[in-house]
Amino acid sequence: MASWYGAPYHNRRGSNGEVYDMNAMTAAHLTLPLGSIVRVTNLKNGHSAMVRITDRGPFVVGRIVDLSLAAAKALDVYLPGTAKVRLEVLQAPASLDMGGRWAVQIGSLAKEKAAAELAEHLQKRYQTAKVIKFVSPAGGWWVRVRVLDDDRQRATALAHETETEEGSVFLVRLD
C-alpha cells in the first residue's frame, strides 16, 4: 500500500538532509537507501512514476511507501489517499542487502511523557543501544533505538521483540 504526505512536512528537512518539496517527484521508504530511484506503479490503473527516496516512512503498519503530493497526483493516489502499488528499485546508491545503518523507530506517541518513559525503559533494557525521543514534524513524539554498530540483524531482532501500548514499531534504515 502507498499513501502520500504533503503540507505538514513541506519545507521541512527530510531524512536525507534536503528540504522536502511536496511538488517534487520524491517518496519516503523505511528501508531503501536514501537516494534510491524507484518506479511505483498503481495496480488499479497502471499509472507509474519514477521517484527518488529522500525520506523515511510511512510510519503506518501495512504501508510500504509515502509519496510526495506530486507523485500521488501522477499515480492517482491523491484523492483516495492510498492505493495498492508495485515498487521496483531501478537504482540504489548502496546495497539493498548488505551494510547500512539500522535502527528501530516507534511512533507516534501523543505525549512527550509517554515518549520519555518508553525511551527510559528501552535504554535500561538495551544498555548497549542509544535511545532518543524526538518530535515528529507533524506533531507527536517518536522514539528511535540505535543498536550497537547500527547492525541490521540486531535492529531486526529488537523490532520483533519490542511491543508498546502506544505507537507501532518499525525497522528503519538511516542511510
The DSSP code sequence of 101-144 is -EEEEEEEES-HHHHHHHHHHHHHH-TTSEEEEEE-TTSSEEEE
E-strand ranges in the chain read 2-4, 26-28, 37-42, 48-55, 65-67, 82-83, 85-91, 102-109, 130-135, 141-146, 168-173
Predicted pLDDT of residue 109: 83
Can you list the residues of the chain whose pLDDT is less than 70? 166
Q: How far apart are CA 169 and CA 160, in angstroms?
A: 8
Predicted pLDDT of residue 118: 87
**Beta-strand relationship, 48-55 and 26-28:** parallel
Q: What is the pLDDT of residues 121-132, one digit of tens each?
A: 889 988 888 999
Domains and CATH numbers, the chain: 2-91 (2.40.40.10), 102-173 (3.30.70)
Residue whose C-alpha cell reads 527516496 in the numeric block: 53
Q: What is the pLDDT of residues 149-166, one digit of tens each?
A: 899 999 999 999 887 776
Predicted pLDDT of residue 26: 98
Residue whose C-alpha cell reads 533505538 in the numeric block: 145
Residues 6+ apart with CB under 8 A from 46: none
What's the gap between Cα 174 and its chain centre?
9
